[in-house]
Amino acid sequence: MERKNFNALLEHIIRLNKVVSNAMKSNIKDIGISDLSPTQAILLLFISENKFGLLELANNYFLPNIPYNIKQMKKYGYIKQEKSKYDKRAYEITLSKKGVDALNKLQMEIDKYLLNYEKFLTLSFGDLISSMQQLEDLFKHSKAVDI
């Protein structure tokens, strides 16, 4: 891969992050939720799929200031923290009823993107996810080689 192409790839990754954040901000506004940030909305989606601990969220996702965002989400009643059944030192984070309600509203907004998917993208959803995974693996596992 040429350096120019690599730089363009990085630029698109950074811009995609910004575009997703702006889309989440718009979605939150459209559903009338004023006490969630775009980062917190994304965390709602992740938490809905799995029970997470704070450390897992911080280590696996490039989102700003996860401890603060989790604290705010707990303060506003979107999540619950419960002691882990497997590790008494750890807490698991799950959605509260308010969190599930907000997630359902947010999911209806996200479904609009899915309806337009084929208009904008030529890759199948599976191929897109596979390509993104390959990019993730490239950055995780590749090391610079001395020439």
pLDDT tens digits, 25-42: 999 999 999 999 999 998
Task: Please give the structure tokens belonging to residue 71.
Answer: 């604290």
Q: What is the pLDDT of residue 81?
A: 86
pTM score of the predicted model: 0.78
pLDDT at 144 over 60: no
How far apart, in whole angstroms, are the C-alpha atoms of residue 46 and residue 93?
A: 11
* Structural contact between residues 44 and 57, judged by C-beta atoms closer than 8 angstroms: no
Task: Measure the CA–CA gap between 5 and 117, rounded to whole angstroms.
Answer: 25
Residue tagged 């390959």 (tokens) = 134
Domain coordinates in residue numbering, the chain: 3-132
**What's the CATH architecture for 3-132?**
Orthogonal Bundle (1.10)
pLDDT averaged over every residue in the chain: 85
What is the C-alpha to C-alpha distance for residues 32 and 98, in angstroms, rounded to an integer? 14
Per-residue model confidence (pLDDT) at position 146:
47
Residues 52-96: tens digit of each pLDDT: 666 677 677 667 688 899 899 999 999 998 887 887 777 888 899
